[in-house]
Amino acid sequence: MRRRTTRVTAGVGCLLSALVLAVLPLPRGADRAQAATAESSAVTESGTKGAYDDFSNLKVTVHQTKDLTGQAVRVTWTGGDPSENGYSNFLSIMQCWGDDASGPDRTQCEYGLASGAQPGNGRYVYQGGSSVGDPLESGSATPVDRNGTHYAPFRPVEGQGDATTSGTDITYFNDGDTNAVAFLPNDGAGGGDTSFELKSAVEQPALGCGARTTSAGRIQPCWLVVVPRGTHNAGGSAYQSGDVVSSSLSRTNWNQRIVFRLGFAPVTDNCDPDKPERGIMGSELATDVITSWQSTLCKTGTYRFTYTQSGEQQARDAVTSGDSLAGLAMTVDPVEPADGAPQVVHAPIAVTGLTIGFAWMYDATGGSRPLTELKLNQRLLAKVLTQSYPYSLVKPADKVPDYLADNPQSIVKDPEFLRLNPDLAGQAAANTPLGLAVTVDNTDSANLVWKYILANTDAREFIAGKADPWGMKVNSSYENGVISDSLDFFPKTDLTPTTTSCGGGYPDITYNGLDVVPYMNDMHDAALKVRRGSIGTAYNCDISVTPPKPTAVDRPIPTQQRQFGIVDNASATRYLLGAAALPNADGDYVKPTDDSLLKAVAEMPDSDVAGVKAPDPARMKDGAYPLTAVVYAAASLDQAKDARLDYAKVMRYAAGDGQTQGTAKGQLPYGYAPLPTALRTQAKQAADLLEKGLPDADESTGSTSGGGDDVSGTGSGGSAAGGADGGTTGATGTGSTGTSSAGADASATARPSADPTETDPAKQNVAQSGGYTPAEVLGLVRWVLLGVLVAGGAAALAGPVMLRFSTRKGAAGG
């Protein structure tokens, strides 16, 4: 049993988050199946010879063009000329809407407000006569703002408003949320590799991607537009150092555009909105997969399923309390009803895990490069999560607290980190992520991270106060038992205020560690902000108010983005984050892949509830990824029959078609590994029991027989088990002791057969794991102990973020 604690904080402010695209290749650890699916819709287009620059050798590939949603896509290019300075031989990339078969007009593209003085940025266009003047621009063809400057307006899709009224109009996007990239320089070979964030209509209604349909009901396309730039400005003059570089929307530049048609998945599930709702709630680890399945489940049912994301304990409590709004809970730890309470079944529905996802540019000879390989061990994670690096508390120009003065300023100055990542030697202390982006919630995921860290002796001793071999010590705010393996959140206990000068005669401002590394709303939010290169750090001065207050730092330009965070594997995959390799119990550094996740399932022991697998990082060996988790769908048998039948359909779909990996609605999103055969069998058996409901009184004290695999179940205070003849017994009804016709140990958990000669990887892992079958009917007594962890004088945060209809994932409706 583990003690639940509440998270510690002084409150989380709403911080401006900066948006920008990181220049980062597809993670090298991505599975072949995922890459193959993406490549199946990859499109390559070539450039053309322009008036002043020849792009006919340029070839650009967008690696996924179908079944798109709010996500990142890989874009690569070859055949350009190397960029030898900061203003020539680069690409601009933008997302657009438009119904014309040849592609969009420049007024239909989100572009022009990227942060920083990036060449090619902006929506202003100029006629001939200056270094940025364009002879193809006609004064009568473009509107003029109130200052008399011509600009290319942005026109949103119908119904979203009017066109913008200036080149700096932020009605529809701004430097903090645009996905456009103005300046992506060619590498030394004339090519490049980047990840570009796409937005569905959920993230950007003004583009309407995935929401607009033709008269025939088909989804209208959106577009990705690449504008190659050479060594000449729009008027034909060669670039000179110090020149202003014309906008990529200027007509001469725009005429060189390369256009890619994008097929977005519908943002709605086409489920009849008049259908009544059937509520599901629980783990963020299940959000992506349930969202994908919703439309398919709706087609054959009388109800529409909605998903409310919450902490797992809240979901487990909903099941045991009989909350009709959430008759099915998604959880990692099992639901353990109190003695005499209604019984619960568990069906495994997904195998996934947690990822230390990163988007990290580092300084190298010849310019910035994307980091593709990263190793982190348990003690390094402990250092970051305990605010033990000074730059996780103060900005580089401010005074470091005395109690951290002897520690490395940031992780890139830590000898332990550099021993694992020698390519990052020589980086400036400030050229690093300031801290791990972590969620604000109480979750089973957070507890898994702490179990992983504390299973390691070096990390455990560091947290207890022992210096590492180089003399670094834990932040003293985390001593005296703040961290334990029952902890299910990420405390930020050091709230020491730092005063910084605003200059110019303005009053100073004060900030703390929550401003430097703020909490994320959830792991998806963390993944998105890591991808954008900004997690909302706020220690700059806002002098527009009196007195001044902390405000968010400007987002970095793409070549200066450096962030990492603890995220769910599905979100890391969706946004093409790099995945850090972590040491398992063998000491081997492993990344999360289908293979390593399934190997971890094979190594997992049972939890306190027989057959429900428990994440156990200390047992992960032989290539197993240590932060793997199995998500279970848990439901009480004491529900109305129609509810039980509907929830059983979810379990059956999870055990069948829902395990087909892919990007289409109804499939298993990448970032989840297909369930092993034994776990699919368990899910079907759990569905059987859920459909039957509570057994009759005469069944609760006896046994029934039937064909198929043995299934054992435990009721509240009793037990029942299938015999060797393949019989199946029902659950106990009121805690009375069940009996079995089996000649063997009646309380043993039955195991479905698994042919060890099967060649399917999932089946091989079933054979390795022994194919544990869960006790589908649970009645073990559990006292849930609630406590308040008081540290740093911080108050408990509010409840979890709820996602009705999973709109954050691009689906409006259940």
Q: Are 355 and 569 in contact (CB under 8 A)?
A: yes
Helix (H) or strand (E) holding 59: strand 59-62
How confident is the model at residue 767, as a pLDDT?
Answer: 32
- In the chain, how many H helices and how many E strands? 15, 30
Task: Please name which of 486, 368, 380, 373 lies closest in space to residue 431, comparing C-alpha atoms.
Answer: 368
Task: Please name which of 466, 578, 478, 570 lies closest in space to residue 524, comparing C-alpha atoms.
Answer: 570
Question: Which residues on adjacent β-strands are paired with residue 761?
Answer: none
Task: Please name which of 293, 291, 323, 319 lies closest in space to residue 307, comparing C-alpha atoms.
Answer: 291
Task: Please name which of 222, 204, 186, 233 lies closest in space to residue 91, comparing C-alpha atoms.
Answer: 186
How confident is the model at residue 38, as a pLDDT?
Answer: 56
**Residue 151: exposed, middle, or buried by beta-carbon count in 10 A (0-12, 13-18, 19+)?**
buried
How is residue 112 written in tokens?
A: 């022009």
Q: Are 601 and 631 in contact (CB under 8 A)?
A: no
Distance CA 227, CA 231 (A): 13
How is the chain split into domains, by residue range?
15-264, 268-336+631-668+783-814, 354-580, 676-782
pLDDT in tens, 477-532: 998 889 999 999 999 999 999 999 999 999 999 999 999 999 999 999 999 999 99
**Residue 662: exposed, middle, or buried by beta-carbon count in 10 A (0-12, 13-18, 19+)?**
middle
How confident is the model at residue 37, as a pLDDT?
Answer: 55
C-alpha to C-alpha distances, 557 to 18, 20, 76, 93, 381, nearest whole angstrom: 10, 7, 19, 14, 27
How confident is the model at residue 718, as a pLDDT?
Answer: 37
Q: Are 206 and 194 in contact (CB under 8 A)?
A: no
How confident is the model at residue 755, as a pLDDT?
Answer: 36
How confident is the model at residue 34, as a pLDDT?
Answer: 54
Q: Are 41 and 66 in contact (CB under 8 A)?
A: yes
Residue at 82: amino acid letter: P
How confident is the model at residue 790, as a pLDDT?
Answer: 31
Q: Return the DSSP state at 140.
A: G
Residue at 256: amino acid letter: Q
Q: Which residues of the chain have pLDDT under 70?
A: 1-39, 696-814
Question: Which residues on adjacent β-strands are paired with residue 71?
Answer: 198
How confident is the model at residue 367, as a pLDDT?
Answer: 76
Distance from the Cα of residue 144 to its chain's centroid? 42
How confident is the model at residue 36, as a pLDDT?
Answer: 54
How confident is the model at residue 243, as a pLDDT?
Answer: 84
What class, spelled out in words, does domain 268-336+631-668+783-814 have in CATH?
alpha beta
pTM above threshold 0.95: no
